[in-house]
Amino acid sequence: MTLTPSPHAVARLRSERLARSAKPFLARGGPSGERCPGCRLRPSHCLCALRPQVPTRAGVCLLMADTEALKPSNTGWLVADVVADTFAFGWTRTEVPPGLLALLADPQWQPYLVFPSDYAEPQRVVTQVAPPAPSGEAPDRKPLFVLLDATWAEARRMFRKSPYLDTLPVLSLQPEQSSRYRLRQSADAAHLCTLEVAALCLALAGEERAAQVMEAYLDVFTHHYLQAKNQRPVDPGDALHQRLHGLCGVQ
């Protein structure tokens, strides 16, 4: 069984989660009132026309805590904007989505569970991603980065209480800079947001351009989000937008 990601995996998961809600989800902070369904921002600050998509060999699997897909500040949504092969599943302690198990068993993918090495047995930890097979040889398995999209406390719980992930190699990243994410506060500047982690993974897999596009897209999204929150216009010609356009080849 080969799974194909939906047109937008996180949007699908968000719709499913809203359908199960007994009351409306009210996001903290950010703009109130009407939001664009495509980017979750105020229509006046819509980001949809700037959504980049970069061809990648690697894929991303988002295992999301209960309300992550509902939060306008969630950056897993941005990962799905950029990387076509993005899959998203909701996490619960007692149930495992059948589609997730099928994806992890799909022979076209080599899954890597991305998490700090301090929490895994040493024999599971890897710091590199297998390179693509040389031209002319049989294609090897493509890297699939499994990211626990949650608060840090939730992610640690998910790591401990997901036995179906115990056989996966644990990819431990060594970020060289602090998080640039400004929409949620973390007690530890070393804790990266989901998109920043995904960008590091893609860079390890040799997808440098995709990683750079994702980082530039995060900066533009953050700017639009904060400008909407503060009821200020955006400047589509500023340095942030120009960098994103340049990486995407837009004049």
- The parts of the chain modelled with pLDDT lower than 70 are 1-6, 21-32, 133, 135-139, 178, 184-190, 250-251
C-alpha span between 5 and 178 (Å, rounded):
31
181-185 long-range contacts, Cβ below 8 Å, gap at least 24?
Answer: 181/75, 181/218, 181/222, 182/222, 182/226, 183/29, 183/30, 183/73, 183/222, 183/225, 183/226, 184/73
Taking alpha carbons only, the member of 202, 203, 132, 123 closest to residue 168 is 123
Residue 72's nearest CA partner among 211, 200, 232, 222 is: 222
pLDDT digits (tens, 9 = 90+) for 30-80: 556 788 989 999 999 999 999 998 999 999 999 999 999 999 999 999 999
**104 token code pair:** 């992890």
Q: What is the pTM of this model?
A: 0.90
